[in-house]
Amino acid sequence: MSEDTAPGADLGMITGLPLAAALEALLASLEPVRVTRHHRRPSRRPLGQQGRWPGPDPLSQRLGLTVPTLSALRERGQLEVFGPHPDEVRPVHELAAGESAAVSVAYVPHESVLDLPVEQALEAGATCVGVRYGHGHPWPPLVATPRTRRDPASGDFTVIDVQGQLVGVQHLWWSRTRMTWAVRGGADGGVDGGYDVEVLTGLTPLAAVRLLVSCNLFSAHGAA
């Protein structure tokens, strides 16, 4: 059973690092899954199975949107790999009714991590970014007033404002964090109706948010 609670203070918009002490305390308080309702079988699919493409431009051109990348990881020397191959990317107008599709960016400390299943790759230092579009996307909007949900079965979840973009942060299980946000109405001239972005990382929620903020992805939102 989940419980919705207010953060206890107006944390405001995150404009950069360092994070406010109240926000750091909130993120550090998010607990992972504590109750297992059923046995979860990890995927054996290798992280790099979708393909290995060295740059975002062909994918962006095919989709008509800017594929988000995590510059801080690139600057730390991590390998940045895009997938699938641009020739396999299907623009939204080519999708049939009820179809959805995705492109991804993987950051790995060395190429061999791409051959590991996703969960093992996260343990080995990988971070995965996915852009999902088509049927069912974007997801329903996050509430404008940040709320925190304490959920032993799914992992605690909160909503933060990063430079004007609402971002969901969920502590899935120990040292696994999921961050999500939606881009609506083809805001950057791309996918009709919008799309969703998901980041999976082996970092704690606090470390994951610090990483996201350091990449300055949403500076245009804050300036608007």
| pLDDT per residue as tens digits for the range 163-210 | 999 999 999 987 799 999 998 765 444 556 688 999 999 999 999 999
Provide the pLDDT for residue 85.
Answer: 80
Give the least confident one: 46-60, 75-89, 125-139, 192-206. 46-60
Q: How confident is the model at residue 140 (pLDDT cuts 50, 70, 90)?
A: confident
Q: Is the pTM of this model over 0.75?
A: yes
Q: Is the peptide bond before 138 cis (omega within 30 degrees of 0)?
A: yes
Provide the pLDDT for residue 52.
Answer: 65
Provide the pLDDT for residue 90.
Answer: 86
Q: Which residue has the higher pLDDT, 179 or 138?
A: 179
Query: Which tens digit of pLDDT belongs to each residue from 64-110?
Result: 778 899 999 999 999 999 988 888 888 888 888 889 999 999 999 99
Provide the pLDDT for residue 24.
Answer: 96
Question: What is the percent of the chain where pLDDT is above 70?
Answer: 82
pLDDT average, residue stretch 104-117: 93
Average pLDDT, the chain: 84
